[in-house]
Amino acid sequence: MRQITEVKRTLTGHVERWELDVCSRTDQELVALFTLPKARDVHFVHLPAGTTTVGYFWKSRPYNLYHWLHPAHGTLAYYFNIGDVRTWGEDDFEWDDLAIDVLASPDGRVEVLDEDELPASLEPDRLAYIFAARDEVLRLLPALIETAEERSTLVLRGLH
């Protein structure tokens, strides 16, 4: 499977890089896989070692989605990052993480996270953009989750 490097930049300048397996790609959307080598906790969600992340990245949407699944437990959570794609290359893509995240669990629990991490120095227009993106995710959440469930199932079936 072809790989691509995800480069995430936070508002504080922190940079993370991840090597992902490309499942599908168009000029507007990338679907990629990453398997966690060791257990990790993200807010109220425990992600055991072996959890698969099906990442959905869109060039022109103000968010992306990490759909976390585990072979023994199914869907663990849906994690939406508010952010913008900075570059969309063949071997890598880079995006700006705009701090706010929306975390939804299969039992219907939804939390908006990290609003307290927004720098006070953000310009009002940028802040309004971030909150509008958060509101878009919350408004579209049921449809986004339904689509992710359907597509992730197909992606994972294609691996076997």
Question: The whole model's pTM is what?
Answer: 0.95
Residue 96 lies in domain: 3-158
pLDDT in tens, 95-122: 999 999 999 999 999 999 999 999 999 9
Domains in the chain, number: 1
- Percent helix, strand and coil across the chain, each to the nearest 5: 25, 50, 25
Q: Which of 104, 52, 105 is nearest to 80 (CA)?
A: 104
Residue the block writes with tokens 């072809």? 2
pLDDT in tens, 33-73: 999 999 999 988 999 999 999 999 999 999 999 999 998 89
Q: Which of 110, 22, 30, 24 is nearest to 64 (CA)?
A: 30
At 157, the pLDDT band (50, 70, 90 cuts) reads confident
CATH number at residue 54: 2.40.380.10
